Amino acid sequence: MERKTPLFVHIIGLEGCGHHGLYPVMGQAIVETHGGDEFNRFYRSGLRNAFDGIWCRNYSKRDCIRGALHFLEKVPRDTIILEDNSYPSGKYREVQHQWDFVEFYDFLKEHCEIRFALLNRNIFNLVNSRREFDDGLKAHALKMAEIGNFINERISALEAKGVPVTRLDYDFLESQTAEIGALIDCPAEAVDTAMKEQFKKSTKDYRETLSDQEIQDVKDAFDIN
């Protein structure tokens, strides 16, 4: 299929959702299907620089948008730009420093095709995977719940505009090869091959490491009965 504009695929997920496991699967499928090499994927692209500039570093929004549009003008129109991001990311842990993907959809939609995926994971394993962040598990769970509310609100706003968001689940990615392929214009067979070769699924189980009180702390943070 010949595209008139680049395709930008953004994987959204809470910190610890497993996006680092999914990214190489999608990357291999893209290269196998569309040719080229791994640099066709533009990780840490001009778009990432622009989004970090706006929401993390308080750079001029006008200048960052101009930079993003200049980047899109330079890349070939058949480019697939794959950007994963955890929410929060690194030291930028406050809500106001999260990428507002509704806003960047609005200023990029005339310049590229944009597709979104939300990557979920068992919330206890997700929190436990970064339990040392935010001064300990209880505070980390509260931070993930806060950022999760932000993600859910912005996804609702996207969907209110008629923008679809593909739901993926880290624990069941092997059964979602068709959905993953549709995001990146790749056949499910290519994604399945990449899944077998690239996906290193975590086997850690929160029940082996979390105390009863820690499990309750996570439940309380996410209002789980």
Structure confidence at residue 39 (pLDDT)? 47
The span from the CA of 42 to the CA of 177, in Å, is: 22
pLDDT higher than 70, residue 71: yes
- Contact (Cβ atoms closer than 8 angstroms) between residue 124 and residue 201: no
Query: Using CA atoms, how far apart are residues 25 and 13, in angstroms rounded to an integer?
Result: 16
Domain count, the chain: 1
CATH number at residue 91: 3.40.50
Q: Which domain holds residue 56?
A: 7-222
Structural domain includes residue 2: no
State the average pLDDT for the chain: 93
Residue 79's pLDDT is what?
A: 87
Which one-letter DSSP state was computed for residue 92? B
Does residue 181 or residue 35 have the better pLDDT? Answer: 181
Beta bridge pairs of residue 115: 9
Q: Over the stretch 111-152, which tens digit does the pLDDT of each residue have?
A: 999 999 999 999 999 999 999 999 999 999 999 999 999 999
Would residue 185 count as lying in a domain?
A: yes
The predicted pLDDT at position 118 comes to 98
pTM for the model:
0.94
CA 7/CA 30 separation, integer angstroms: 12
Measured distance CA(159)–CA(180) in Å, rounded? 19
Give the whole-angstrom CA distance, residue 210 versus residue 120: 20
Q: Does residue 1 fall inside a structural domain? A: no
Rg (CA), the chain: 18
- pLDDT > 90 in the chain, percent: 84
